[in-house]
Structure 1
Amino acid sequence: MTATADAEAAANELTPLADYLGSVLRRLRALPPLDLDLTQAYGNVLAEDVVAPHAFPAFDQAAVDGYAARWEDISGGARGPSYVPAPSGTPGGRTIRLNVVGDLGAASWRPVRLTPGSCFSVAAGAPLPVAADVVVPVEWTDQGMAAVEIFRTPKRGYGVRRAGEELPAGTLLARAGTYVTPALVAVFAATGIGHVVVRPSPRVVIVATGDELVDVGRGSQPGQVVDANSHALTAAAAEVGALAYRVGICDDDPEGLRGLLEDQTLRADLIITTGGTGTGPGDMVRRILSRREGGRAGPVTFTDVALYPGTALGFGTVGAEEVPVVCLPGDPGAALIGFEVLARPAIQLLAGAEPVFRPSVRAHLLETVSSPGGLREFRPAHVAERRGGGYTVQPLSGGPFTLSGLAEANGLLVLGERVTTAAAGSTVDVLLLDRRR
C-alpha cells in the first residue's frame, strides 16, 4: 500500500488535529514577565499595555527648515509687511518682505515671541516662537539673513508640528501581546518611556535522535542519514523569535536520552526532539518517554493525530521543573510541518504573543489536487495576490514530504479531513509563511 492509502485506512483511529492542539496548548502558560531596559526590549512581546506618559511632539516645533512667521503677515490679511515686486515668473507678481530677528535651532530653549512684520530663521525640530503659526520653506524665499523675501505663500499651519499632535499624553501606544519592533522602540522613547514589561523570548533546545544520524558536511549513505532536522528546527525556532539552541545528535540509548533531557531542563523553556515518535522497532523516543514506571504514565504522551504528513506527535513535560517537551517525527518534511502545526504555536504561547497561529487567507486554487481522506494535509504552495484583489495558490510539486517544495514555499495549502479532491478554481485555506525575500 502507498503512504496515502495507509493514512486513509488508519484515519478513523486518529485524533482530530484541532482537538489535539487544544489539549496541548491549554497546558501551556506564558513565561513570567520581566522589566527590561528599552534597548533590550526589541523582539520580545509586551506583557502589559503601554500608555504614553508624555505627549509627542513635546512642544510646538518646526517641521521643515525655513522661516517661522505669523500667517496674517504673509497672507495679505495685514498691511504691516512690505510688498515688493516679485522676480520674473513668480506666481502672484509680488513678494513679501519680513525682518529676520533671530535664528532658532533644535537645541534652542529660550522662549521668544514674534512681533508683526518679523520672523525667525528656524531649523527642522526647533521650538516655534510664540504667535508663529506657519513655517515658510527655505526654497520659497531668497534665503535672506537680516530680511527675507517670500515668493510663495503657504497655507496656515504649514511646516508646523503642534505639541501632542501625533500622540497626546495618555495615548495607548501598544497592547499586551504586541511584538516590540524598532519603530515601536522609537515611539516609546519619544514619549519618555525607558523600561517596558515584556515576556522573555523562550529558550528552545532542539535534539535530534537516532543511531543512524551523522552530522552535516557529508552525504548520506546506507545506514547513515545526515541530520538535517536539528539544524532546520533550530532555524525555525529562531525565526519565531525564540533563543534557539541546537544540542545535536543523541543516540537511541535510554539512559543517554533521559540524562540529556534532564540536563537541558536547566536552560530550556521548551525542548523539541525529532525522530523516534512512531511504533517501529527503531522508534526509541516513544518507548523511552512514554514508558510507565511505578504504575505512573510516562512523562510524554504520544498521539496519532489526523495530520498529513507525520501523524505521530508527542507532548509532555520532563524534569523536576516540568519543562514542556514536543516530540516531532524524523522525516525532515514531516518534522517541519509538525513544527508549524505544534511547536510554533507553543513557542508563541510561551512568549505571550497573540495570535499564536500564522495568518491565513482564502485563495483561488490553480491546480486540482488530491488528499488522503480523514487527515488534515499541509502542502507546500506558492501564494500570490491577484491584480483585481484576493489570492491565488499554486501547489508545489512533490507533495508535503519534499524539502525542495518547503524551501520554495511562501504558504501552506490546508486541505481538511473531509477533502479527498480539491478542484482547480475552488477556494481553499492557505497559511502564510513569513519568509524574508
Structure 2
Amino acid sequence: MIPVERHRERILAAVSRGEPQRVPVNAAHGCVLAADVVAAVPLPGFDNSAMDGYVVAAADVAALPEPGGSGCGCAGGTQHEGHEGHTPPVRLPVRGDIAAGDTRRLRLEPGEAYRIMTGAPMPAGADVVVPVELTDGGLDVVTLTCADAPGRHVRREGEDVRAGDVVLRAGVFVGARQLALIAACGAVDVLVYPRPKVVCLSTGDELVAPGTVPGFGQVVDSNGLMLAAALREAGFDAVSGGVVRDTEDDVLTALGEHLRTADAIVTTGGVSMGAYDAVKAALSRLGTVQFDKVAMQPGKPQGFGTIGERDVPVFTLPGNPVSALVSAHVFVVPALRAMAGWQRAEPEPVRARVLDGWTSPPERAQFVRVLLDREAGEPVVRSAGGQGSHVLQALADANALAYVPAEVTRVEPGQVLDVTPFGASEAAGWGP
C-alpha cells in the first residue's frame, strides 16, 4: 500500500491550472482571479449624505451647539424645538428635496437648506447634514436648534476606494463580498481561472436511477447524485452522468462521450479485485491510469490518470458510498482546487479536541465521520456513529471529516485532530 500523501502528490503533479478567461462580472462568482482588479471609479463616486435630514452651509449653523450639548436644550435624538434661555434656533427656507439617484448638479445658496435623503448627492456649497430627528421636519421652512460639525454625516468621494486603486489581487477567490466590490468599482469584466466542469459516473449492473424504488438485488445510484452535489458544494460545476453498465465497452463509450466537454471525470465502482470490475479493466487498456491500494480507511482501492487529447484527469473511486465521498474530499477536491487556481489545494483544516475516543487501524490513515461543534468557543468533535463504508446514516449525520494519522492506533479523549468540514456552507457554522 502507498501513503495517502503519495497518491495525492501524484495527482496534484499531473493536473494543471486552466487557461484564464475574461468573463462578465456576473459570471465571476466562485472563480479565482487571474489578474488584479483595478477600480475604474472611486467609492463613493461622489460626496453623499449618510443620513436622512437637511443639508446646510456650516456658516449658517455655526452658532448652534452640537446635539446634546450644553447650549442645546434637548437631549440628542429627540425632536428639537427652541427653548427659552438657550441658543436661538436657526430657521432656513427649504429649497426642495434631493433623493438618492438625483443626477442634478445642485448648488446650495447661503441662508437656505435642502431636504436630503440617505445616499443622495451633496449640493455644492453644502457641508453640514442635520439628521431629520434633530429638526422640526419642516417642508417649507426648517427649524434647527443644534447641528453636528461639518462632514459628520457626509460620505466623501473616494474615501473607501480611489479610481486606479488595486482592490483585489490575482489569486483571490471571488465570493459574494468580493463580487460586490468588483461590481461597485465599475468593472465590466474580469480575468479568472474557470471552474472545472466535472462529470460523475457510477458503474454497476445493480444500479437504478435515483427516484426509483429498487427491487431485489438492485441499488439506487446515490453515488453519482452525492458526488456531484459534494463537488458543487466545494465550488465546482459538477453533474451526475448517470449509470454505466459493467462492461469494458460501456465504460469506454461513456468516457469517450464526456471527454469532449468535461475537465475532469470521476467514476465510482469497478476498481477492486472482482471479476466484473469493468472500470479498472477498461482504463488499464489505455495505459494511462494507475491503480493503487492506498493506506487509508475507508477508500483503499484508488485509481488516477489522464486520458484523451486534452489529458482529462480521471479519478476512479471505490463504489461504497462512504468510501467514495471520503475519497472525493481527500483526492478530488484538492485536484480541482489546483485546476481552478486556488492558492491552497487542500482546504484549511480546523484543529479540534476529541470528546470521545475510538480505535484506528494500524498503518492506515483513518478519515472519521464526526460531528464538529464548539464548547466554550473551542472546536470539539465526536464520532458520528457507525464508520462502515456502507453506513449512510452516520455519513448524513456527520458534518466533518477527522484525519487520524497512520501511526495512531487509538484516539483518546482530549486529543487534537485536523478536521475538515463538509461543504462550503457548513464550513462557516459547522451546523447541519
Q: 1:417 to 1:75 in 2, by over 3 A?
A: farther
Q: Is the CA contact (8 Å cut-off) linking 1:365 and 1:392 kept in structure 2?
A: yes
Using the TM superposition, give the Cα deviation of residue 151 of structure 1 relative to its aligned residue in structure 2, in angstroms: 4.0
Task: Show CA shifts across 1:329-383 (max 9, x none).
Answer: 0001100000111111222222223333223111111001111121111111111
Task: Show CA shifts across 1:142-181 (max 9, x none).
Answer: 1123321124433442221000111122333223233333
Using the TM superposition, give the Cα deviation of residue 408 of structure 1 relative to its aligned residue in structure 2, in angstroms: 1.7
Q: Is the CA contact (8 Å cut-off) linking 1:410 and 1:435 kept in structure 2?
A: no
Q: In structure 1, how many angstroms separate the alpha carbons of the residues matched to 2:104 and 2:289? A: 69
Q: In structure 2, how many angstroms separate the alpha carbons of the residues matched to 1:365 and 1:354? A: 30
Using the TM superposition, give the Cα deviation of residue 430 of structure 1 relative to its aligned residue in structure 2, in angstroms: 0.9
Q: 1:381 to 1:89 in 2, by over 3 A?
A: farther
Q: In structure 1, how many angstroms separate the alpha carbons of the residues matched to 2:85 and 2:393? A: 63
Corresponding letter in the other structure for 1:369: W
Q: Which one of 370, 377, 382 corresponds to residue 381 of structure 1?
A: 370
Aligned length: 414
Corresponding letter in the other structure for 1:382: L
Match of 2:224, SS?
A: helix
Q: Which one of 378, 401, 419 corresponds to residue 430 of structure 1?
A: 419
Q: Is the CA contact (8 Å cut-off) linking 1:378 and 1:415 kept in structure 2?
A: yes
Match of 1:290, SS?
A: helix
Give unmatched runs, 5+ long, in structure 1.
1-13
Identity level (%): 36
Q: How does 1:243-258 map to 2 (within 5 A)?
A: 243-258=237-252
Equivalent residue number for residue 139 of structure 1: 133
Equivalent residue number for residue 411 of structure 1: 400
Q: In structure 2, how many angstroms separate the alpha carbons of the residues matched to 1:91 and 1:27? A: 83
Q: Is the CA contact (8 Å cut-off) linking 1:48 and 1:175 kept in structure 2?
A: yes
Equivalent residue number for residue 368 of structure 1: 357
Q: Which one of 91, 100, 104 corresponds to residue 97 of structure 1?
A: 91
Match of 1:334, SS?
A: helix
Match of 1:272, SS?
A: strand
Q: In structure 1, how many angstroms separate the alpha carbons of the residues matched to 2:252 and 2:87? A: 89
Q: In structure 1, how many angstroms separate the alpha carbons of the residues matched to 2:117 and 2:191? A: 36
Q: In structure 2, how many angstroms separate the alpha carbons of the residues matched to 1:231 and 1:189? A: 34
Q: In structure 2, how many angstroms separate the alpha carbons of the residues matched to 1:71 and 1:420? A: 75
Provide TM-score, normalisation by structure 2.
Answer: 0.88
Equivalent residue number for residue 187 of structure 1: 181
Equivalent residue number for residue 395 of structure 1: 383
Is 2:204 aligned against 1:210? yes
Equivalent residue number for residue 9 of structure 1: none
**Aligned Cα root-mean-square deviation (Å):** 2.6
Equivalent residue number for residue 17 of structure 1: 4
Q: Is the CA contact (8 Å cut-off) linking 1:44 and 1:198 kept in structure 2?
A: yes
Give unmatched runs, 5+ long, in structure 2.
66-70, 74-79, 427-431
Which range moved further: 92-101 or 413-422?
A: 92-101
Is 2:353 aligned against 1:359? no
Q: Is the CA contact (8 Å cut-off) linking 1:332 and 1:403 kept in structure 2?
A: yes
Corresponding letter in the other structure for 2:35: E
Using the TM superposition, give the Cα deviation of residue 221 of structure 1 relative to its aligned residue in structure 2, in angstroms: 5.6
Match of 1:139, SS?
A: helix
Which range moved further: 315-324 or 327-336?
A: 315-324
Using the TM superposition, give the Cα deviation of residue 90 of structure 1 relative to its aligned residue in structure 2, in angstroms: 11
Using the TM superposition, give the Cα deviation of residue 317 of structure 1 relative to its aligned residue in structure 2, in angstroms: 1.4
Q: Is the CA contact (8 Å cut-off) linking 2:64 and 2:146 kept in structure 1?
A: no
Match of 1:280, SS?
A: coil
Is 2:50 aligned against 1:63? yes
Q: 1:400 to 1:133 in 2, by over 3 A?
A: farther
Q: How does 1:150-299 map to 2 (within 5 A)?
A: 150-220=144-214, 223-291=217-285, 298-299=287-288
Task: Show CA shifts across 1:193-218 (max 9, x none).
Answer: 11111222211111111222222344
Corresponding letter in the other structure for 1:67: Y
Equivalent residue number for residue 45 of structure 1: 32
Q: In structure 1, how many angstroms separate the alpha carbons of the residues matched to 2:362 and 2:88? A: 81
Equivalent residue number for residue 76 of structure 2: none
Equivalent residue number for residue 142 of structure 2: 148
Q: Is the CA contact (8 Å cut-off) linking 2:94 and 2:139 kept in structure 1?
A: yes
Provide TM-score, normalisation by structure 1.
Answer: 0.87
Q: In structure 2, how many angstroms separate the alpha carbons of the residues matched to 1:20 and 1:275? A: 18
Q: 1:125 to 1:419 in 2, by over 3 A?
A: same
Q: In structure 1, how many angstroms separate the alpha carbons of the residues matched to 2:176 and 2:301? A: 40
Q: In structure 2, how many angstroms separate the alpha carbons of the residues matched to 1:393 and 1:71? A: 60
Match of 2:170, SS?
A: coil
